[in-house]
Amino acid sequence: MTVSYTKKVSDCKGFGSYWRLLFRWRGSLYKLVWPDTIVYIVLYFICSMVYRFGLNELQRRIFEQLSLYCDYFRNLIPISFVLGFYVSVVVERWWEQYLSIPWPDDFALLCTTYIRGPGERAKSIRATLIRYVNLTCVLTFSAISPGVKKKFPSYKEMLEAGYLTPQEQRALEIQAGRTSVTLCCLPLMWCCKLLEGSRTLGDLRDDMGLRLLVEEVCKLRDKAGMLIRWTDISIPLVYTQVVTMACYSFFFFSVLGRQFLDPAQHYNNRTIDFFVPIFTLLQFFFYMGWLKVAESLVNPFGEDDDDFELETILERHMKMTYLLGDVTPNEDPLATCDDLA
């Protein structure tokens, strides 16, 4: 579920509002980083214990040399730089993926405008068209999101939720046996046929309306297709590996390199022994947190705290399209234009 805090930070008065965000748990840095942190601390203290109690004088001198060496050289890899570039690619893709989610409200508005007429037929055509569009959304979302898949594991659940009729289910099942391509967009074809049919019968008021509706169907297909392709084409694995390897090896070597050494040896910047490596942990939090930003955004359709809630969006689409598509009951403030005269 997306963590929405924008309203909490609408003002920047007094001490501002960002510091308050530090005390949240859902979707937070702490929640993402704690398992790694614990492993890191355990490793660090094992190492520390060995150095302090397990080694003789000579071994300690060698350990110290090793530690200084690790500390010096792990800095040769500019992880802040590569993380900066990598995270901005990830954040950009994350947002573009959000924009790729199909939003059928306009389709519903166009149905309301163009498919009118006396009797119930126009209304049931509108309802069917809107259902087809929502069906495409369900099929697409369940192909990319484990959460939606869990809710709608098969056509049966969609039937129960009112996205499908039994005939449609049969049509989808038969087709699934015939072809290997995804059937997400098949309902949009039915949609197009129904539009053409209703134009022929005169329920769709003019050619312009047919065109607008068909274009809207194409836009929805583009978005649905794009959503699936986002999941197919990941950020090149090499890039992700380079960043991950840099980050993990940096901290792997810091277990040795950031040990507190005997102040009596007067190594540079090693004049105090705090026992608890506050700054190293801070650095760990910082860089690991930055990497976790990437990790939690790279697939925003999962079940992380910060992923898009496709289930909620599906429900909203259903309700909103029926509302704007003039299918559910609602009062009109004006019966006809003549009221205005």
Q: Please report, as residue ranges, which positions from 271 to 310 form the binding site for its own copies (by CB under 8 A).
A: 271-272, 274, 279, 282-283, 285-286, 289-299, 301-308
Closer residue to its own copies, CB minimum distance, 12 or 53: 12
Provide the CA 51 distance to its chain's centre, in angstroms. 44
The answer to the question of residue 231 lying near its own copies (CB under 8 A) is yes
Q: What CA–CA distances, in Å, run from 167 to 12, 127, 155, 170, 338? A: 57, 16, 12, 5, 43
Site for its own copies in 239-258 (CB under 8 A): 239-242, 244-246, 248-249, 253
Q: What phi and psi values does residue 115 have, to the nearest 5 degrees? A: -105, 90
Closer residue to its own copies, CB minimum distance, 48 or 244: 244
Contact with its own copies (CB under 8 A) among 49, 121, 150, 160: 121
Site for its own copies in 78-107 (CB under 8 A): 78, 80-82, 84-85, 87-89, 91, 94, 98, 103, 105-106
Output the smallest distance, CB 237 to its own copies, in A: 4
Q: What phi and psi values does residue 204 have, to the nearest 5 degrees? A: -90, 120
Sequence length of the chain is 341
The answer to the question of residue 59 lying near its own copies (CB under 8 A) is no
Output the smallest distance, CB 114 to its own copies, in A: 7
Enter the DSSP assignment of 52: I
Residue found by looking up tokens 């050289």 in the block: 73
Is residue 311 within 8 Å of 151, Cβ to Cβ?
yes
Pairwise CA distance, residues 244 & 258, whole Å: 20
Q: What CA–CA distances, in Å, run from 183 to 177, 233, 287? A: 11, 19, 42
Q: Enter the tokens of residue 96.
A: 């573009």
Contact with its own copies (CB under 8 A) among 46, 50, 218, 276: 218
Output the smallest distance, CB 94 to its own copies, in A: 8
Closer residue to its own copies, CB minimum distance, 56 or 179: 179
Window contacting its own copies (CB under 8 A); options: 45-53, 150-158, 230-238: 230-238
Site for its own copies in 166-185 (CB under 8 A): 167-168, 170-171, 174-175, 178-181, 185
